[in-house]
Structure 1
Amino acid sequence: MNKTDRLLAIMLELQRKDVVRAEDMAALYETSVRTIYRDMQALSEANVPIVGEPGVGYSLMEGYFLPPVSFTVEEAVSLLIGAHFVEQKFDSRYQKRARSSRSKIEAVLPEQVRKEAANILTTMRLLSFDTDSPAGKQEKERVDTIRQALLDAKKVSFHYRKSMAEEDGNRDSVRVVSPYGLSLINGSWMMIGHCDLRGDLRHFRLARMSELKVSEEGYQRPANFNLHEYKPVDDRKTYVRLFAQHKIAHRIKESNYFYLEAWEDCADGLLVTLRVRQTEEVMHWVLGWGANIEVLEPESFRNQVREEIEKMTKRY
C-alpha cells in the first residue's frame, strides 16, 4: 500500500472508530509504528484535526467528517449490486433507502466511472424468485415488524409451525420471543432470540410464522451477545447415505442442498451423504428423485421410504 492510499485508509479508520492505537494501525496496514507516527504528522499538517493522547491512541476532533471519496469502477459496482440486493430482500422501508442510495452513488460518480460501471452491470443480474409472490411479501412484512421490535427492544409473539413434530406430536405452538437479531440464510430470513417457552436461544424461520405481533413487554439483550460471532449448536448428528444414478449426479451437485454433507463419484453413479437431525427432514427431497436414488443407510430410513412409497402406490 502506498502512502497516499494508507493516509486515506487511516482517515476512514479514524472516522469509523472513536479511538485508534498506532500499534493497531501498524498491524492493520503492515507497516511500522514509526511510519504511522509520520502519517499522523502528515495528516495534521494537512489540517486534519487529529487528537493524540499518549498511551490511549488517536481520534478525530468531534464534528469533523471526511469529504466524499471517489470510487473505482469495481467499488461502484459492488455498492450498486449491494443496493440492488437490499431492494430485493429487505422490507419496503429499506427498499426505498436502497433506491435512494443507488441514485446518490450514481450521481457522485465521475462520468467515465459511471459509464464503465453501467456497462459492467449490464452483464450481471440478481434474481429473487419470491420477490413478488404472496409468501415473499409476507416475509418482508415480518422483517419490518421484527426489525422495529429489535430497535425498540420489545418482545414479539407469533404462532409457529415447525417442519417436524415435537415429541408430543404437535407441530404448532404460540411463542413469545425476545429478538436478538435477523439473519438471511440460504435466501430465507431467520430470527434468533430468547424463547420464553423453551427458556433458551432458538431460531425461527420467518416463513413459518403467523399472527406476528410486537408486545408491549420490553427486554434487554445480553451485553455479551454478538450476532456476528454467534454460532448455533450443531445438532445434526444422523448421517443418511444414498446412491444416485449417474444421470442425476450433476443435478445433486448443483442443488446446494442444505443437508448435503459430501459426495463421492463412482463408476455408475454418485454416493451421497446427508447430515440431519431427523431423517424425516429429507424424506420429501429423497422421494423427489424417484427411482433415480436409493437409500443405503440407515436401515430405518430405508423402511420409512418403502412405507411411504407403498402408501403412495395405494393412493394411485
Structure 2
Amino acid sequence: MNKTERQLAITLELQRSKVLRAEDLAAQFETSVRTIYRDIQALSEAGVPIVGSPGQGYSLMEGYFLPPVGFTAEEAVALLMGTDFIEQRLDAEYGSYSKAAKRKIEAILPETVRSESTRVRETMRLLHTGEPLTSEKEREYLAEVRRAILERCKISFKYVKKIPESDGNRDSRRKIAPYGLTFVQGNWILVAHCDLRQDVRHFRLSRMTELAVLEERFSMPPGFNLSRYRPPDDRNVLVLVRVNPKITDKITENGNYYLEAIEERKNDLLATFRVRQTEELLPYVLGWGGDVEVLEPEAFRRQVREEAEKIFKRY
C-alpha cells in the first residue's frame, strides 16, 4: 500500500469510526506511529477536517463525508461476487438487498470497468459441490433467527441431534437465547445459550423444526463478541487409523474437522483423529471401506466390525 492509498484508507477508517488512536492506525496499516502522524498532517493540509483530542485520538469533524470513490475491476468483482453469495445463502430479505446493491454497484461503474469486471466474473463461478445447499426452510428460519438476535428475543424449537443422547433420544425441545450466526462448511450454525443445558451451545438450522420467536427477552453477556468467540475444544477421544496411501486425498481434501495428523510409514499412513464420541467418525470410516483399518480404541474397532456385518447381511 503506497502513501496515497494509506491516507485514503485512514480517511475512510476515521469516517467509519468515531475516534481512533495513532497507535491503532499504525497497527492496522502495519506502519509506524510517526508515519501516521505525518499522514494525519498531510490530510489536514489537504483540507480533510481531522480533529485531534489529546489522550483520546483522531476523529473527523461532524458532518464531513468523503466523496464517493471509484472501484477497480478487481474490487468490483469482489463486491459483485459477494452479492452473489448473499443471494444464494441468506434469506429472501437479504437476497433482495443484495440484488439492489448489485444494481447500484453496476450503475456507478464506468463502462470500461463494468465491461472488464463482467469479463472477469465470467471466468469464475460459485458452486456448492460437496456442501449442502441452503434450503428454503433454513432461509425462512434464518430471517426469524436474525430478527430474534437483533430484538433480543428468545426462541424455541425442536432439535434433532446427529448422535442420540444417553437415553437413546435424538430430538428434544429447546429454548435458547440466540447470540449470533456463523456459516461453517455450508451450514448455518446458531451460537446461543441453551436453557436446557445452562451453557452456550451450537445448533444447526438444518436440524431445527417448529421454530418460534418468543416474547421473552434476554440480555447479551457482558463482553461477548461473536467475531472473537472461540468454542471450547472438547474432542478428547483419540482414534488411530491405518490408511492406504491411495486414498490420502479423500481424507485430507475433505478438510476433516476431526483429523489431527497424518504420519507417513513404510507401507501405509497412520492417521490420528480427535473426536468427542467415536460415533462422529463412524460414517467416514465406513465410507472409506477396506482402504482403512481402525487400530485404536478397541471398542471402536468392534463398532466398525458390527456395522460392517449389518451391511453385509443386508446384501
TM-score, normalising length: structure 2: 0.92
| Pair 1:78 & 2:78 matched | yes
Query: In the alignment, does 2:246 pair up with 1:250?
Result: no
**Which residues of 2 match residues 21-170 of structure 1 at below 5 A?**
21-128=21-128, 136-170=135-169
Whether 2:203 is the aligned partner of 1:204: answer yes
Residue pair 1:249, 1:269 contacting (<8 A) in 2 also: no
Query: For 1:212, what is the secondary structure of its paired residue?
Result: strand
In structure 2, distance between residues paired with 1:83 and 1:65: 25
Q: Which amino acid aligns with 2:83?
A: A
Q: CA deviation at 1:94?
A: 1.0
What residue identity is the alignment partner of 2:74? E
Mean CA deviation greater in 179-188 or 14-23: 14-23
Separation of aligned partners in 2, 1:250 and 1:204: 30
Q: 1:69 to 1:294 in 2, by over 3 A?
A: same
- Supply the distance in 2 between the matched residues of 1:185 and 1:132 (Cα, whole angstroms): 11
Residue-by-residue CA offset, 1:151-210 (whole Å, 9 max, x unaligned): 111000000111112222222111000000001111111101111111111111111111
Q: Is the 8 A contact 2:131 2:186 kept in 1?
A: no
Tell me which residue corresponds to 1:11. 11
Displacement, 1:78? 1.6
User: In the alignment, what sits opposite 1:303?
Assistant: 302
| 3-state SS in 2 of match to 1:13 | helix
SS of 1:145's equivalent in the other structure is: helix
Contact 1:50 1:58 in 2 (8 A): yes
1:104-129 Cα offsets, whole Å, 9 max, x none, are 22222222222222222111111136
Do 1:261 and 1:275's aligned partners in 2 also have CA atoms closer than 8 Å? yes
1:231 corresponds to 2:230: yes
Length, aligned pairs only: 315
Q: Does 1:288 align with 2:287?
A: yes
* Corresponding residue SS for 1:147: helix
Within 1, Cα distance between the matches of 2:299 and 2:119? Answer: 56
Residue pair 1:22, 1:36 contacting (<8 A) in 2 also: yes
Equivalent pair of 1:163/1:171 in contact (CA under 8 Å)? yes
Query: How many angstroms apart in 1 are the aligned matches of 2:193 and 2:95?
Result: 28
SS of the equivalent of 1:289 reads helix
Say whether residues 1:182 and 2:181 are aligned partners. Answer: yes
Contact 2:243 2:270 in 1 (8 A): yes
Partners of 1:156 and 1:110 in 2: how far apart?
Answer: 46
Distance 1:143 1:211 in 2: 13
**Native 8 Å contact 1:7 1:43 kept in 2:** yes
Alignment identity in percent? 57
**1:88–1:128 contact (8 Å) kept in structure 2:** no
- Per the TM alignment, residue 131 of structure 1 is displaced from its structure 2 partner at its CA by 9.7
Which whole-Å CA distance do the structure 1 matches of 2:132 and 2:242 have between them? Answer: 37
Contact 1:157 1:177 in 2 (8 A): yes
SS of aligned partner of 1:239: strand
- Cα distance in structure 2, aligned partners of 1:148 and 1:3: 42
* Residue 38 of structure 1, CA deviation: 4.1
User: What is the CA–CA distance in structure 1 between the aligned matches of 2:162 and 2:66, rounded to whole Å?
Assistant: 50
SS of match in other structure, 1:178: strand
Q: Does structure 2 retain, via aligned residues, the 8 Å contact 1:131–1:137?
A: no
Q: For 1:198-232, what per-residue CA distance to the aligned partner results, in whole angstroms no more than 9, with x for missing partners?
A: 11111111111110110010111112101111111
Secondary structure of the 2:14 match is: helix
CA pair 306-66 structure 1, distance change in 2 beyond 3 A: same
Matches of 1:132 and 1:313, distance apart in 2? 29
Seen in structure 2, the aligned counterparts of structure 1 residues 248 and 59 have a Cα distance that, compared at 3 Å, is same
CA RMSD in angstroms comes to: 2.2
- Structure 1: tracts of 5 or more residues without a match: none
1:159–1:172 contact (8 Å) kept in structure 2: yes
Q: Can you give the 5+ residue segments of structure 2 that lack an aligned partner in the other structure?
A: none
The amino acid that maps onto 1:276 is V
Shift of 1:261: 2.2
